[in-house]
């Protein structure tokens, strides 16, 4: 078919009925049709992206067309859904289209923009929402300026959408400003108790941990061979938050690579190592590894080890591989094939002992001795245990008093410290609900009655995760329920193993000739609700 006949036949085409769909050997790339398809894709992004998938799978000669439509459909989603996070997604990238592929700087800037909008979207405190949307607006303007510097052949699709988002952002900021003025809070409520704290927005409520920082620095910088660390502790004591703040705490001599092992992308050996490589490559921009599927775990680890050895030769910083919720690796990978798991643990131990540049930092609620078949403690005997515990009294006091403009009598502060023992999540919960009372009643002077109201109505409740998880998870995993009953009833302890677990993880402390729960709020919850679970 000659080009002019082809064009004539395409006058009424759409994204679901055209010659690219009907003709499997078509090779023409006609700009008139590209403009038509991209216009349609901007109007109907879902159909446009479906057409992109079709072209990629069945029309390999049309990669350029597919990438144009991908940009147009992505920009259309942005244009028609301003300030909706589910539509703020990057374009799908297609290989062999370098002239239509955004630069790495553009993609990295977009990821930061996306994360900033997510931070805004999950914030519920109006004043903090306002602060987050201001930050987002600044990043959005910079992102638009960067987009203009990208090739015109594809950046043209995004400019109207970015302008729409800028306009919507300014309108939202005006709404939040007016709303904040009407509410006139006594003090900002910046406390968090269910989220991981982040250095970008939560420095005002992150206190302490100097002891762990100093221990890590000393051991890493003075060891002849690189030490391996197990950073463990109770649920909700701030282990993941500590990881997020590690780069800030440790300084420029260290490069922390954070990996959440509970991420849905980490579900087998290949995806674990591939995800780890992507995180390393994002920081160091090094060689790409071909992660072909293999049943040989040592072979797969060998590729990663070679890559790590290359990085250690190219960079002076100590590289800390921080595996958060590392127990998921055992559950999803190592326990599925214990024989290969044993060999892999042995290979990791050997690598750790033969160099002084790469640090393994395992972070979780379990000790190595808790992970069986394969038994992690048999292989990582040299690992240094670091227990993430509650906040020290001085740091807990700062968390209560410094972030907010409220007046706390000494008796209230003392009672809060006594009830929580510095447990970070429980302390954040108490503080957050007390600030709510202060703002609701427009007063700064807080009382013991306010504290008791929060404890009764908000803290000692069935679904308080920081308390419930001890009974439903820890006690269930370690068969501690009978021992807990004996402690509550002041009876002799018959199971020394479970007693040792409770003591080792910091849940109980001596009480004369007996034992008691370290955190009074936990004991209150157990007496009230344990029989219901």
Please report where in the chains the tokens 């929580």 appear, as a residue: 420
Task: With H, G, I as helix, E, B as strand and everything else as coil, classify residue 511.
Answer: strand
Give the pLDDT confidence of 256-302 residue by residue, as tens digits: 999 999 998 899 999 999 999 999 998 988 767 777 778 899 999 99
pLDDT confidence of residue 219: 87
pLDDT confidence of residue 421: 98
Contact 349, 382 (CB under 8 A): yes
Residue 117 DSSP one-character state:
H
Closest CA to 342 of 308, 298, 276: 298
pLDDT confidence of residue 21: 58
Q: Is the dihedral of CA 488, 489, 492, 497 positive or negative?
A: negative
Element (H or E) spanning 364, and its range? strand 358-364
Mean pLDDT of 156-165: 96
Residue 62, pLDDT above cutoff 90: no
Give the pLDDT confidence of 91-150 residue by residue, as tens digits: 999 888 999 999 999 999 999 999 999 989 988 778 788 889 999 999 999 999 999 999
Residue 25, pLDDT above cutoff 60: no
Give the pLDDT confidence of 468-490 residue by residue, as tens digits: 999 999 999 999 999 999 999 99
Residue 14, pLDDT above cutoff 80: no
Please classify residue 174 by burial: count the beta carbons closer than 10 Å to its beta carbon, then call 0-12 exposed, 13-18 middle and 19+ buried. Answer: exposed
Q: 179: pLDDT confidence band, cut at 50, 70 and 90? A: confident
Quickly count: other Cβ atoms within 10 Å of residue 221's Cβ: 11
For residues 306 and 427, give the distance between their C-alpha atoms in angstroms, rounded to a whole number.
45
CATH 1.10.10 segments of the chain? 465-532
pLDDT confidence of residue 6: 37
**What does pTM read for this prediction?**
0.71
Q: 10: pLDDT confidence band, cut at 50, 70 and 90? A: very low
pLDDT confidence of residue 5: 39
For residues 134 and 128, give the distance between their C-alpha atoms in angstroms, rounded to a whole number.
10
pLDDT confidence of residue 17: 63
Closest CA to 113 of 72, 67, 165: 165
Does domain 396-457 sit in CATH 1.10.8? yes
Residue 204, pLDDT above cutoff 50: yes
Residue 218, pLDDT above cutoff 90: no
For residues 148 and 532, give the distance between their C-alpha atoms in angstroms, rounded to a whole number.
60
Mean pLDDT of 154-158: 95
CATH 3.40.50.300 segments of the chain? 209-387
Rounded mean pLDDT of the chain?
90
**CATH no. for 465-532:** 1.10.10
Q: 186: pLDDT confidence band, cut at 50, 70 and 90? A: confident
- The residues with which 362 forms a beta bridge, in sequence order, are 230, 323
**CATH no. for 209-387:** 3.40.50.300
pLDDT confidence of residue 285: 81
Can you list the alpha helix ranges (DSSP code H) found in 228-324? 239-250, 269-284, 297-314
Structure tokens at 501: 């677990």
């Amino acid at each position: 078919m000659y080009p002019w006949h082809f064009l004539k036949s395409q006058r009424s085409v759409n994204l679901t009925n055209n010659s690219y769909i009907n003709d499997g050997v078509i090779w023409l790339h006609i700009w008139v049709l590209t403009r038509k398809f991209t216009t349609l894709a901007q109007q109907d992004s879902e159909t446009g992206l479906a057409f992109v998938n079709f072209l990629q799978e069945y029309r390999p000669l049309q990669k350029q067309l597919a990438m144009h439509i991908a940009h147009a459909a992505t920009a259309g989603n942005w244009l028609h859904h301003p300030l909706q996070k589910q539509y703020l997604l990057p374009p799908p990238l297609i290989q062999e289209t370098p002239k239509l592929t955004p630069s790495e700087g553009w993609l990295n800037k977009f990821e930061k923009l996306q994360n900033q909008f997510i931070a805004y979207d999950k914030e519920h405190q109006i004043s903090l929402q306002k602060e987050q949307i201001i930050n987002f607006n600044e990043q959005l303007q910079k992102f638009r300026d960067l987009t203009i510097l990208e090739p015109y052949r594809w950046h043209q699709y995004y400019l109207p959408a970015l302008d729409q988002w800028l306009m919507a952002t300014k309108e939202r900021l005006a709404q939040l400003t007016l709303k904040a003025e009407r509410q006139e809070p006594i003090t900002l409520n910046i406390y968090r108790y269910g989220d991981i704290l982040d250095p970008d927005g939560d420095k005002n409520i992150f206190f302490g941990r100097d002891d762990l920082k100093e221990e890590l620095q000393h051991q890493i910088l003075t060891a002849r061979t690189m030490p391996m660390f197990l950073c463990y502790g109770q649920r909700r004591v701030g282990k993941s938050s500590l990881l997020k703040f590690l780069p800030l705490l440790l300084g420029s001599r260290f490069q922390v690579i954070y990996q959440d092992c509970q991420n849905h992308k980490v579900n087998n050996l290949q995806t674990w190592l591939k995800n780890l490589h992507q995180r390393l490559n994002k920081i160091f921009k090094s060689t790409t590894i071909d992660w072909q599927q293999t049943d040989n775990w040592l072979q797969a680890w060998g590729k990663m080890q070679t890559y790590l050895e290359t990085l250690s030769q190219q960079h002076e910083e100590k590289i800390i591989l921080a595996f958060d919720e590392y127990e998921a690796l055992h559950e999803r990978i190592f326990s599925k094939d214990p024989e290969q798991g044993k060999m892999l643990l042995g290979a990791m131990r050997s690598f750790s002992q033969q160099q002084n540049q790469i640090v393994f930092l395992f972070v979780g609620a379990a000790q190595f001795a808790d992970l069986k078949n394969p038994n992690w403690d048999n292989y990582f005997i040299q690992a240094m245990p670091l227990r993430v515990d509650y906040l020290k009294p001085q740091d807990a006091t700062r968390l209560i008093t410094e972030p907010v403009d409220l007046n706390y009598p000494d008796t209230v502060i003392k009672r809060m410290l006594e009830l929580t023992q510095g447990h970070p999540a429980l302390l954040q919960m108490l503080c957050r609900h007390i600030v709510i009372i202060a703002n609701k009643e427009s007063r700064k002077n807080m009382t013991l009655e306010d504290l008791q109201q929060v404890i009764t109505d908000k803290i000692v409740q069935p679904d308080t995760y920081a308390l419930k998880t001890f009974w439903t998870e820890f006690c269930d995993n370690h068969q501690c329920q009978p021992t807990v009953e004996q402690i509550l009833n002041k009876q002799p302890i018959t199971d020394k193993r479970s007693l040792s677990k409770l003591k080792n993880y910091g849940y109980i402390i001596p009480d004369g000739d007996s034992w008691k729960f370290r955190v009074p709020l936990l004991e209150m919850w157990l007496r009230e609700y344990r029989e219901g679970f």
